[in-house]
Amino acid sequence: MTKNIVFVKMTAAGNDFVMIDNRSGIIPRRDSDVSALARRLCDRKFGVGADGMILIELSRRADFKMRYLNSDGSEVSMCGNGARSVARFARYTGVIKKSKGTFETPAGIIRFELKKSSVKIELPSPRGIKLDFPITIGNKKGAAAGSRLRAHFADTGVPHAVIFVGNIGKTPVVRLGRAIRNHIAFALAGTNADFVKVTGPSSISVRTYERGVENETLACGTGVAASAIISGVLGKVRPPVKCLTRGGKILTVDYKISRVGSGASIRASSEFAVTNVSLEGPAEVVFIGKLRL
């Protein structure tokens, strides 16, 4: 039987998504079916075209539940720009009537606030922060052979490796990002890779290679969050941090760092705690369509 499903295409700082209200269960919960649908819809040649697909589903713990799948069909626990988009989508479609609320994700309960031209969400405190460790990429012949990088790591709902660079415009994000994403240091799940340039006392530029999309995207919410937090922990910036994305949009990351150690600089994750993390930026409807399933 043919089903007609209404969807909304949204963009958040260039990170784009296909949004579907699935509270009625019109899309089956079978993982293989949902994964195939995400691949089909996100295909930029034969589908709608997007970095990911987001479903709104019923929740007993919050106003609704967010389910996120990358364009390759893999399901992940969190997407920062997707989370901001789903809050705007929920209000746009009448799922919620208020400007503040909560929704459920595998990464935890997310609080949101809808503003006139932006959406602000509260993110979980980062986990697994690791500072300043070496990784070597490119074991075969080629331009990246034997490249030794200094990396940092933070899980802001999904894993992110953060690399500081001197010239962000000339950084080969796809080539380096792909090597970092599959590096043994981040096995078994792999990682996203963020390349960061500090541009001011409270500003950075960020380019991200996203796991699951397997390419550079125009923005990554959890990526700018990880980049801003690592930059702050290392004393390179002060929050709130303005993050310039590849798409030319600004995302603002705020947080609080509480010192535990007494040294002149932070050297280990046991010496600090990061709390009160928030992400704010634009999230807009692009168009509405109908899918024949």
Rounded Cα–Cα distance for residues 94 and 105 (Å): 20
DSSP string, 147-202: EEEEEEEEESSSEEEEEE-S-GGG--HHHHHHHHHT-GGGTTT--EEEEEEEEETT
Q: Measuring CA to CA, which residue among 192, 187, 175 is closest to residue 140?
A: 175
Question: Between vectors from CA 13 to CA 33 and to CA 212, what angle results, nearest 5°?
Answer: 35
CA distances from 66 to 35, 63, 200 (A): 15, 10, 35
Single out the catalytic residue among 19, 34, 53, 79.
79
243 is catalytic: no
Single out the catalytic residue among 12, 161, 220, 228.
220
Contact predicate 198/233, CB 8 Å: no
Q: Sort 30 into a burial class: Cβ within 10 Å, 0-12 / 13-18 / 19+.
A: exposed
79 is catalytic: yes
Task: Work out whether strand 108-114 and strand 119-123 pair parallel, antiparallel, or are unpaired.
Answer: antiparallel
- Number of CB atoms found within 10 A of residue 155's CB: 21
DSSP 226: H
DSSP 55: E
Q: Measuring CA to CA, which residue among 228, 211, 219 is closest to residue 281?
A: 219
- Number of CB atoms found within 10 A of residue 15's CB: 32
Catalytic positions are: 79, 220
